[in-house]
Structure 1
């Protein structure tokens, strides 16, 4: 059978459309799966490097050969596609396997755990084939029409082997959206999201503090996801490299930026920028609080003001982008930028509350911040899903820009001469760069490490 009629990207679009009608042989997948990162194990290491395991463990509520087709996600910075498979699980004590049924007043006997399988890793097929069963005749007919299946008749009991390793990764006639203006949108959203996340670090719109603490003690997030601490299986990477347990490869990262800021990684975290540019002080005593953080913002006796900067402080383009957003959010200026961002993503409730902070209760503020955080994340995800990730995947697979964007690459040194505000990491200095409209696309190598042996599972 010749499987060159469609690309892997197009096949995954079909999988996504019919994912509720396709089940995957999970045992076959696990038996043939190769890790693309260093294996992580549950627990933390003490000062002597000894692994301290969590006091709870997860147990699958099924021992199924088949699981539902997972959700497919394109990586934001590499030519990588992951399939996220969800399975039902419960918590049990590590010591005697006693099940944990209730935590913080909630039933936790029906939790979800997620296994992430890398289908394509850095532009190379990592999963050669999937064994599946198909319950939809429409899905069967479409896959047969595209040359993916060789079975003659639809049989919902039949298992099909779908080869992935003989498909072109990207369509030959693909078209990619313009990225003009996307970086500034993403940067503003990231700054505001960071501020909101810093506020909500210890807060919940659903639970009181004692409940959050109890959830955390049972390795559950505020969204009731299982969240065990993990650490590298190998405490000494160099030793693991020498004995062959770990190997390295070069991964090519693709980033978008502007002519002033090379990529989103250059932005400060919210609390770091707060400490860089602002003072938190007691309104009555005027005492300045050391190590300010947004977690303190809910205390009524505290307020923010600008920090007096020394002449040695180097104000960068990152500072110039972030400061108006912080000033507006903190109420030190009224430039409308926060309201504009929130309105764009549909988070008008928070915009209204910020206009009249003094009348809002803490509970109302936390609820509005939580809702806005979700809206900002959804808006960002859509930009990446629709416009950036397909482009990143194409560049990572081919090493080229699409024809409609094709420009000559330049070095970091040449780029820095043209745009002196840009700052480069050690890795970025080895990259190549493309100036496309008002944007800069960076492609640079980074060393990645992965566990060589075949994995049994990739539990998150």
Structure 2
């Protein structure tokens, strides 16, 4: 049970911390994997990573997926195109570290510039649909930490900055030939040791989480609406170009988009610990509806000329001529929840049913002034250019994502990593654990999934922290990347 595990970890926490401090008696060496990650991110332009060595030693933690299709007999058919790295080198630029939002997992995202080539004769495709293919990239994730456990013990790198070399040397994580590195040499390969380091800093900053769920939930609702509006409103290319891009496995955003299928490797099911934050009314962000689902749930989209009600409404047609939206009558079978109460004012404002300022307040936090201006213009009954508002939506979507990621990076992810790697809440957040039954008794508006009903919960200020297990598929034994 999650509850027993956390209770045992709480009892042992002082001993764990004591052992970590003993291991790093020199305060300058008290560095965590998260802090190493931050250093490498800061100096990533002065580091190159031995990707060949990483792949050789890597133990995959997720189900392997192959590029191609499977027929009815399970045989793999590969696409007529494939990729080939432009730089025939063992090294790539240092990737970006990505911390999972609700598991104690850190991934290293590595990108590599590639050619798109014909599989039969390896002829390079130079252009598609009138576009030069000189900036195509592949993106691969390597799991550094998985569910609080170190998966990659070290990284082999070359360093072109003496300042970075000196910093890593002082922190005691830089090796050469299995000995502490002493001399800077830009031609030499060094090993950055991760195994044995604490995942999170021994001394955690005090972080307040009250209000964060509200902000993230608002951003998720608006982001979902914008994604739904933009899903098929592609003004960048004509239909013939989109067809040509699809034929060559390139998305409208000009990313490689090969079909993928799962391998037939033997799999095991393990428990993966999830850590979420929520409020006393909504347990976590997963409770929110998608934009189109909520539109169908609470609104009618109709043709203003014929009066016809669209059976499957979606946001990408709301800006078409003769299309309007109104509230749907609530049936006796529909149960209105706190999720409805939270989402509906935002939808009413965005759609233009009620000018309550919700959308403007959210967009103003991220500086999405162009979209704010156009929505206000529409609410005043003035005509707006469809292409102009689509451009503003794309820009706002990026701004919303960046704003949310900063909250996760600065506030939420450090908390998730701490809980997932130590099994306890940070000091200053300590409170009695509650079962789902106990929490539901205190806050009857909360809704629980079957997995969440088996979890434990902590009431921290106005926020609720949930810890529960979910099943994940793992390869039984390491497979090649």
Q: Where on the TM-score scale, by shorter chain, does this alignment land: which range?
A: over 0.9
Once the two structures are TM-superposed, the CA of residue 63 in structure 1 deviates from its matched residue by 2.6
Unaligned runs of 5+ in 1: 235-239
1:320-378 deviation line (CA, Å, top 9, x unaligned): 11111111111111101001111111001111101122421111111111111111111
Q: CA deviation at 1:50?
A: 4.5
Q: Is the 1:31–1:455 contact (alpha carbons within 8 Å) kept by the matching residues of 2?
A: no
CA offsets, 1:138-178, max 9 Å, x none? 00111111111212211111111222111111111111421
> Residue 52 of structure 2: SS of its match in structure 1?
helix
Match of 1:237 in 2: none
CA distance in 1, matches of 2:182, 2:66: 45
The alignment status of 1:187 with 2:217, answered yes or no, reads yes
- Tell me if the contact between 1:101 and 1:107 (Cα under 8 Å) persists in the aligned partners: yes
* Whole-Å separation in 1 of the counterparts to 2:54 and 2:397: 35
Question: Offset at 1:53?
Answer: 3.3
- Is 1:69–2:94 an aligned residue pair? yes
Match of 1:215 in 2: 245
Aligned pair partner of 2:325 in 295, 304, 309? 304
CA distance in 1, matches of 2:388, 2:102: 36
- Deviation, 1:453, is 4.1
CA displacement at 1:123 relative to structure 2: 0.3
3-state SS of paired residue (2:428): helix
Counterpart-to-counterpart distance in 2, 1:229 and 1:438:
44
Matched residue, 1:252:
273
Residue in structure 2 matched with residue 283 of structure 1 by the alignment: 304
Q: Say yes or no: does 1:339 pair with 2:360.
A: yes
Q: How do 1:31-430 residues align onto structure 2 when only pairs under 5 Å count? A: 31-46=56-71, 49-149=74-174, 150-204=180-234, 206-234=236-264, 245-357=266-378, 358-430=382-454
Q: TM-score normalised to the size of structure 1?
A: 0.94
Matched-pair contact (CA < 8 Å) for 2:60–2:478: yes
Q: Please say if residues 60 and 480 of structure 2, whose CA atoms lie closer than 8 Å, have aligned partners that are also in contact.
A: no
**Matches of 1:304 and 1:46, distance apart in 2:** 44
Moved more, 162-171 or 53-62: 53-62
Does the CA contact (< 8 Å) of 1:38 and 1:451 recur in 2?
yes
Deviations 1:407-431 (Å, cap 9, x if unpaired)? 1111111111111111111111111
The two structures have a TM-score, normalised by structure 2, of 0.90
SS at structure 2 position matched to 1:364:
helix
Rounded Cα–Cα distance in structure 1 between residues aligned with 2:366 and 2:239:
29
CA–CA distance in structure 2, aligned partners of residues 101 and 453 of structure 1: 40
Contact 1:183 1:257 in 2 (8 A): yes
User: 2: CA distance between counterparts of 1:387 and 1:381?
Assistant: 10
Displacement of 1:205: 5.1
Deviations 1:254-302 (A, max 9, x none): 1010001100001111111111111111101101111111122232021
Query: In structure 2, do the counterparts of structure 1 residues 176 and 45 end up closer, same or farther at CA, with 3 Å as the change threshold?
Result: farther
Stretch of structure 1 that moved more, 56-65 or 337-346: 56-65
Does the 8 Å contact 1:203/1:209 carry over to 2? no
Runs of 4+ residues over 6 Å off in structure 1: none
Is 1:10 aligned with 2:35?
Answer: yes
Between the aligned partners of 1:281 and 1:47, the Cα distance in structure 2 is 42
- 1:444 is matched with which residue: 468, 474, 479? 468
Q: Distance in 2 between matches of 1:51 and 1:207?
A: 32
SS at match of 1:298: coil
Q: Distance in 1 between matches of 2:319 and 2:125?
A: 34
CA RMSD of aligned residues (A): 1.6
Give CA deviations for 1:84-131 in whole Å, capped at 9, x if unaligned: 111111212234333221122110133111111110011000001111
Q: 222-231 or 209-218: which moved more? A: 209-218
**2 CA distance for matches of 1:51 and 1:22?**
38
Contact kept? 2:301, 2:313, Cα under 8 Å: yes
Q: SS of the counterpart of 1:193?
A: helix
Report if the CA contact (8 A) 2:199-2:417 is conserved.
Answer: no
Query: Structure 2, unaligned stretches of length 5 or more?
Result: 1-22, 175-179
Question: Once structures 1 and 2 are overlaid, which stretch shifts more, 19-28 or 315-324?
Answer: 19-28
Give the Å deviation of 1:212: 3.2
How far apart, in 2, do the equivalents of 1:353 and 1:337 lie?
Answer: 15
